[in-house]
Amino acid sequence: MNTSSKLAGTVNVLVPVGSLGVGIQPEEMKRGVAAGAHVIAVDAGSTDSGPYPLATGISKHSREAIKHDLAIAMATQAEAGIPLLVGSCAMSGNDMAVAWTRDIVIEIAAEMGISPRVALLYSEQDPAVLKRKNAEGRIRPLAPSGPLEDKTIDACKHVVAVMGPEPYIAALEAGAEIILGGRTTDTAVLAALPILRGAPLGPAWHASKIAECGSLCTVNPTDGKGVLIRIGADSFTIEPLAESNCCDVHSISAHMLYENANPFRLTEPGGVLDVTQAVYEAIDRRTVRVTGSRWEPMPYTMKLEGAGADQYQTLMLVGIEDPEVLANLDLFHDRILAQLYERVRQTMGEAAGNFNISLRFYGWNAVSGRSLPKGTPFPREVGLLFVATAATQAIATQIAKSCNSHLFHFPIKRGIEVPSYAFPFSPAEVERGPVYKFLLNHVVEIDDPLELVRTEWVDFSANKGAR
Amino acid sequence: MAKLRDVCLDIRSKNAGPYWITVDLFFDSPETYRKYRDNPAIGPAAFGALYEVDPAMIKHFPVDSLNMIKISYPRATAQGGMLERDMHGGQQYVRLLDVEMDGNESGSDTRDSLAASRAGSNEHS
């Protein structure tokens, strides 16, 4: 395959960065457009950071970081006249997250004096719809979770259905120049235009999986941010956008491992990507070609993600350098923990409700929470993190306050002068806020990929950049 | 006696969605990979004991083309929540480093090497 045939018969996707907000490079955008990109596609979300973004609608990234990247992407979109697709807006892709991103796009458009045709794809779900689907037996659990109960739906602050490429394809067919998507699989946002243009499904999905983290699939992931994929009749190629960087067979084939439970098969809405038979070959110094990627159609499902919070935490941190305590940390842990529970029951009684105290010795075994083998050298100091969890923030803080003097003065043995450990803060306690948690690990079976998605359009004539 | 850390170029762990952790073992040569690929010290039974997971739930994928083994297992509770200590699962590989890889190739004696590297949890709930 020579360079001209690559350009002639392929659909080319410019992936500027692995996660919107990490820092799109203008010169890489220029290089991608010059290389014949037909679309700019970027993922903006993930569950990797934990349940907080979904439960609150708040992005992990700053507004400024998102605006910086969107401004570069929108300028390229306007100049090159190719669509810009953003998936999983503001991390969670819930309705608040899409609206937050929409407002940034409106602001940038006003500053640039442009009025692109912008489609908004919302995929947050109404609890009543989910309960109906559940009653119809169309929601099923993924391992290791069990069947969905309605009370779990009620415990979620937000539930999103994870979109495939179909809503993006429909918006492109309706003339969208910019698409801001709610929660979407990382791959689907990249695969949408190639699938619309008739690219084979195996290579389209596989290329999108490899490219979804931007330069992470390259030999030197910190050299540049983006990659370009070209999907042809029976294969695809991938190369970094940074001229000095390269892809090789190992960097590309190893990327199927990343954050994937299964390195050979990836379930997507409407099918499974199977790369068991894929063959990887370097076609020049910086480009890898992949053949043999297969797509197996399956009944259409959308994954559901839900998060909520029904508990609160208050923390205390205390430093300990006392050598005798450090020589007996596990004993100290067990004794003080028992004392703290006793103390809370005595002082607060029933008012403490259903609570938990967790003590974690940073510098000893806080990360694993496991006992260490006998003979492990004692640390020079530890940070003891006290974590109280309760039904309300006020109760969690009252528990912490009740435990304050014990945490401060608890002796390792009887008959010694009362020790004082090292609090760094006054007050000692820190209110951490709600304990967010993921609550859903299920899929919903649907007949029409657009059934659970709502598409809206931004009307610039009404807003005139005034927002 | 080689430990896993002695026969791998890289050992890493990471979240794979909110409900799973995935561990990648990159062996240092094709020969090493072939020698240890089917070693019970990193098989589902031993791995399940080390991570306190039902062996039937563990996914075990040798990847011959990359001289590596991917092992994925479900979290005890979803990522986040009251007792989370490693949000991204990025430190969960550490307990594998000292697993003894030699002397068990026959598969007859995995328990001793496990007992050496295994320890109980002191998590309170």
In a domain, A153, yes or no: no
Domains identified in chain A, total number: 2
Residue A27 has a pLDDT of: 97
Question: For A437, which of B22, B72, B78 is closest by C-beta distance?
Answer: B78
In a domain, A147, yes or no: no
What is the span of the domain harbouring residue A245?
11-123+162-300+446-457
* Residue B118 pLDDT level (bands cut at 50, 70, 90): very low
Do A413 and A334 fall into the same domain? yes
**ipTM of the predicted assembly exceeds 0.85:** yes
- CA nearest to B50 within chain A: A370
Residue A160 has a pLDDT of: 98
Question: For A370, which of B74, B116, B122 is closest by C-beta distance?
Answer: B122
Do A326 and A382 fall into the same domain? yes
Do A348 and A238 fall into the same domain? no
CA B24 to CA A251: how far, in whole Å?
15
Write the pLDDT tens digit of every residue in A66-124: 999 999 999 999 999 999 999 999 999 999 999 999 999 999 999 999 999 999 999 99
In a domain, A402, yes or no: yes
- DSSP reduced 3-state for A175: coil
Q: Domain containing A340 — which CATH number?
A: 3.30.70.600
CB contact under 8 A, B83 and A358: yes
Does A264 lie at the interface with B, CB-CB under 8 angstroms?
Answer: yes
Please give the single-letter amino acid code of residue A105.
Answer: V
pTM above 0.90, yes or no: yes
Helix (H) or strand (E) holding B12: strand B8-15
Do A251 and A358 fall into the same domain? no
In a domain, A465, yes or no: no
Q: Can you list the pairs that A252-257 forms with residues at least 24 positions away whose Cβ atoms lie under 8 Å?
A: A252/A210, A252/A217, A252/A280, A252/A288, A252/A290, A253/A278, A253/A280, A253/B65, A253/B66, A254/B66, A254/B68, A255/A209, A255/A210, A255/A213, A255/A216, A255/A217, A256/A209, A256/A210, A257/B22, A257/B24, A257/B63, A257/B66, A257/B68, A257/B70
Do A252 and A209 fall into the same domain? yes
Closest to B13 (Cα-Cα) out of B22, B25, B3, B1: B22
pLDDT at A202 over 90: yes
Q: Select the more confidently predicted residue: B108 or A370.
A: A370
What sign has the CA pseudo-torsion B25, B27, B30, B35?
negative
Residue B106 has a pLDDT of: 44
Compute, in degrees rounded to 10, the torsion defined by CA atoms A363, B92, B31, A265.
-160
Question: For B119, which of A305, A360, A371 is closest by C-beta distance?
Answer: A371
Do A109 and A242 fall into the same domain? yes
Please give the C-alpha separations between residue B7 and each of A257, B30, B64, B118, in angstroms, as whole numbers.
Answer: 20, 11, 16, 20
Q: Are A33 and A39 in contact (CB under 8 A)?
A: no
- Please give the share of chain A, as a percent, with pLDDT higher than 70: 97
Mutation for B interface: A52, A91, A217, A262, most B CBs within 10 A: A262
Do A188 and A268 fall into the same domain? yes
Residue A2 has a pLDDT of: 39
In a domain, A258, yes or no: yes
In a domain, A131, yes or no: no
Do A236 and A339 fall into the same domain? no
Write the pLDDT tens digit of every residue in A224-282: 999 999 999 999 999 999 999 999 999 999 998 888 899 999 999 999 999 999 999 99
Do A54 and A191 fall into the same domain? yes
Can you list the alpha helix ranges (DSSP code H) found in A136-200? 150-155, 166-173, 186-196
**For chain A, counts of helices (H) and of strands (E):** 15, 20
Do A213 and A255 fall into the same domain? yes
Can you list the alpha helix ranges (DSSP code H) found in A162-266? 166-173, 186-196, 201-211, 249-254
* Residue A3 pLDDT level (bands cut at 50, 70, 90): very low
pLDDT at A4 over 60: no
In a domain, A141, yes or no: no
Do A183 and A238 fall into the same domain? yes
CB contact under 8 A, B79 and A259: no
Do A194 and A236 fall into the same domain? yes
Mutation for B interface: A49, A370, A439, most B CBs within 10 A: A370
- CA nearest to A368 within chain B: B85
CB contact under 8 A, A436 and B80: yes
In a domain, A180, yes or no: yes
- CA nearest to B73 within chain A: A261
* Residue A416 pLDDT level (bands cut at 50, 70, 90): confident
* Residue A353 pLDDT level (bands cut at 50, 70, 90): very high
Helix (H) or strand (E) holding A461: helix A460-463
pLDDT at A332 over 90: yes
Write the pLDDT tens digit of every residue in B48-106: 999 999 999 999 999 999 999 999 999 999 999 999 999 999 999 999 999 999 864 44
Write the pLDDT tens digit of every residue in B25-50: 999 999 999 999 999 999 999 999 99
Give the pairing of strands A11-15 and A39-45.
Answer: parallel
**For chain B, counts of helices (H) and of strands (E):** 4, 4
Residue B103 has a pLDDT of: 64
Mean pLDDT, chain A, as a whole number? 95
Residue B107 has a pLDDT of: 42
pLDDT at B121 over 50: no
